[in-house]
Structure formats: C-alpha cells, structure tokens
Structure 1
Amino acid sequence: MTCKVDSTMNSELLNPYTAEEVTIAIPTWPPSNLPDPMNKNWGNLGHTTLKLDISKAYDKVEWSFLRAMLAKQFWRLNVKPDLLVGKIIRARYFSGFFILEAELGSRPSYTWCSILSTKELVKVGLLWRIGKGRTTRIWIDPWIPHAPAFRPCNRLEPLPPPTTVHHLFDPATQDWNRDLIESLFEPTESAPILSIPLSRFELQAELIWHYMRSSVFSVKSAYHLACNNAGASNPTSSSFSCPSVVKGWKSFWQAKIPNKIRVFIWRICTDSLPVGVNLQHRIPTLTP
C-alpha cells in the first residue's frame, strides 16, 4: 500500500502525524487478505478497518479524548443494561452489582480494565433523576443538582432508615416536605432540593448526564471534564492558564527560532518529553 499523509489528512487529526509514524502504527496487511480476482474479497463492497497501535505515537495522542471515548462505553453500560456486550460484562465481572460499585474482579480483560478506569470521570457528571424517589438513596446517590458531588454533605438531624428520597415527600400532597427538608439540611442544600420538580406520574429513577441540556452523555463534555481534571492534577499544566503566562507563551510562539527548537522547549515545559517516567505513565506495560 502507498503510505501518504498530506495536509488535508492532518487537518482532520487532533495532531499532525508524519508518514513514518503512520507506517509504524499500521500493522502488516497479509497478502492473502488483499482483494484480488483469486479470492473472495474481490468485488466486495464494504469497509476496511486498520488497527492502529496508539502506543507507537504516544506523545501525540490526545489522552483526554481517549478517556472520554472509553467513558462513553461506561455510560452505555449504565443506561443500556440490555445490550449484549453489557450482559456479557455484567455476568463476568459484576453480576448482582450496580456498575458504579463494580470492581475489576479476578483476571480482568484489558477491555474491562480500560472501561472501568473511566468510572471516576463518569461519576463527576452522573446524576439521578429521582422519579418517585423510592430507589434513590439520600446520602449515597448523586441526585441534587448544583450540590457538591450532587449529594448532601451535612445533616442537621439524623434520619431513621430507610433513607430514600421519597421519605422527604409530604404523604398528603406528594410534594416536598419543606419543614422536614429545612430541618435536615443546610440552606445551601435544602434550596436546590426544593427546586427539583416532582412528577405526578409513576416514573422510575434514571441516570442522566448533568453537563448536557439533553441529559445524555456526550464525548465533548466528558473531554472537557477530563482536560480540567488533568489540569487540576498537574500544577505545571494548570499554571499555563495564568494571564501573564499565556501572554509569555504567545510571545514565545511568535519568536523567530527554528520550529524544532520551539517544540522541544514546549515539551520540556509541559513535561512531554518521551523519557522513561512519562513512557511508563502512558504505557503501563513498560518500566522506566
């Protein structure tokens, strides 16, 4: 196959790749699988899939984007438990448990490890739409919009079990019991609770995504969350958001110096050089 990476192709990628990097990433295609008049592949219409080894281009991979893509699979296992792949994974790794409480289990596959690694990212934006509140736990499940971690942190008085949300309703009106709520929670938590509209119909509780108006998970919103989390955990990257630093970097990128030197300095400042520690962090199978 002729390998060519032009500017049009690079414009569609998150980062520009060289022809050499693409050649390394694409595995050998056996001649027996190539379409020709002597085999069954000739004349067939369909899609050809090339498996890319992302680790070969580790320093150009948008890791936050890949995490967001994996988080979408975790979300699908949450909201669509009847999917065949969901049934297989559920039976193998967390039968009888809610996926948010699932663990790796014994001898986990690489796929399951990858999907489960995004659990904390998904939990940041996961929220219960309570319905009639019979299954949503007050102190454990995320169900209060605009509250830290979407759950109450302070209780003024103990609430006897069972502690599900429907115990906060007024039995006569099936609306919020304002007096009870204001006696149990701080004003910063009682106000968001009382602002949640209650349905008059028998609706089941369902998981929604807080960071989209449609309440449906999106890779874009998860990507922004992953980037924010990465910046918060990395002081070097988060410090780049300071106005003075941003101004300094703009001047740096406009400096008349060779591009390879400019990129090299940028990699040093962002701790992106392919040294042993960074390789081990991005490719766990390696040792520094």
Structure 2
Amino acid sequence: MSAQSIVQKGYRWQVGNGDSIGLWFDKWLPTPSSFRLTSPQIGLPIDVNVNSIINPSSNSWQADVIRQAFSPDDATTILGIPLSSRCTVDRLMRVFTPKGHFIVSSAHKVALSSISDLRPEASNGQ
C-alpha cells in the first residue's frame, strides 16, 4: 500500500475507443512531462471523454475540432496518436517500459523521478 502512489504515477492510458479516458484530467498523451493536456480548458466541457474528439464512423481523430480546441503542441501530439481500425477498448499501460507492463525497475524509475522532483534546485545558492 505504501507504494501505491508510485504505481499510480507510473501509468497512462492507451487510447482505443476513448470511452474510458477523461479528456482533461486523465493521463493519456505520450508526453512524459505530465501525460496530460496543457491547453486551457476552453470550448469543450470539463467532463467529456476522449471519445468526444474521435469520429465514431471512421474511428479517426476529429482534426478540425482538435486544432480549434487545443494548443498547437497538444493538437500535434493528439493527432500523432494512432487509432486502431478495430475500435479497441482503452487500456492502462505502464510508462517507462517498452511494452507497457509493470516491472520493478519501472517503478524504481518513477520513485527516483518523484524524489528528484522534491529536491530543491542546486542553483538556489545552497
């Protein structure tokens, strides 16, 4: 139980049909800094899922909506995520591993990253 926060920090969603992924709050982008959108929440409701920007008939991104609703960086990142033509379900995957599976060394990397985030900057004169 004490490692639960580390385990939670070390995952993100892999987009399938987008039904299970909260657009604004879940970690689903392949951007290691936060795995979340950085765009201001304008235009799309706060409680929508990723499926709201996927065209269900073609199972492709709604590029026009994405370019209007998100910053250029977020839009480029989203449009670069491949969608399966089989309309698979969303799945949680481990970050820092090639296949997205949990391994102890990936949890160790997350823990070390968390520790370094808490350390004061070396450039503060101390």
Distance 1:162 1:228 in 2: 30
Q: How many angstroms does 1:176 deviate by?
A: 0.4
Q: How many angstroms does 1:162 deviate by?
A: 5.5
Q: How many residues align?
A: 123
Q: How many angstroms does 1:167 deviate by?
A: 1.1
More strand by share: 2
Q: How many angstroms does 1:153 deviate by?
A: 2.7
Counterpart in 1 of 2:76? 191
Counterpart in 2 of 1:164? 49
Residues 232, 153 of structure 1: CA spacing in aligned structure 2 closer, same or farther, 3 A cutoff? closer
Q: Is 1:175 paired with 2:60?
A: yes
Equivalent in 5, 8, 11 of residue 126 of structure 1 = 11
**Higher relative contact order structure (alpha carbons within 8 Å, sequence separation ≥ 6):** 2
The residue type paired with residue 144 of structure 1 is L
Counterpart in 2 of 1:153? 38
The residue type paired with residue 181 of structure 1 is I
The residue type paired with residue 50 of structure 2 is V
Aligned residues of 2:59 and 2:84 also touching (Cα < 8 A): no
Q: How many angstroms does 1:150 deviate by?
A: 1.1
Aligned residues of 1:126 and 1:210 also touching (Cα < 8 A): yes
Distance 1:215 1:126 in 2: 8
The residue type paired with residue 137 of structure 1 is G
Distance 2:46 2:3 in 1: 32
Aligned residues of 2:14 and 2:93 also touching (Cα < 8 A): yes
Report matched runs for 1:241-280 at 5 Å: none
Q: How many angstroms does 1:209 deviate by?
A: 0.7
Distance 1:161 1:232 in 2: 28
Larger Rg: 1 or 2? 1
Aligned residues of 1:168 and 1:177 also touching (Cα < 8 A): yes
Aligned residues of 1:156 and 1:183 also touching (Cα < 8 A): no
CA-based RMSD: 2.4
Distance 2:54 2:65 in 1: 9
Counterpart in 2 of 1:60? none
Structure 1: gaps spanning 5 or more residues:
1-114, 240-288
Query: Matched residue of 1:128: which SS?
Result: strand
Query: Matched residue of 1:150: which SS?
Result: coil
Structure 2: gaps spanning 5 or more residues:
none
TM norm structure 2: 0.82
More helix by share: 1
The residue type paired with residue 88 of structure 2 is L
Query: Matched residue of 2:92: which SS?
Result: strand
Residues 232, 136 of structure 1: CA spacing in aligned structure 2 closer, same or farther, 3 A cutoff? closer
Equivalent in 97, 113, 116 of residue 212 of structure 1 = 97
The residue type paired with residue 30 of structure 2 is P
CA deviation map 1:154-198 (0-9, x unaligned): 236321475111110124422001110011111111111111110
Higher alpha-carbon deviation: 173-182 or 143-152: 143-152
Q: How many angstroms does 1:148 deviate by?
A: 3.9
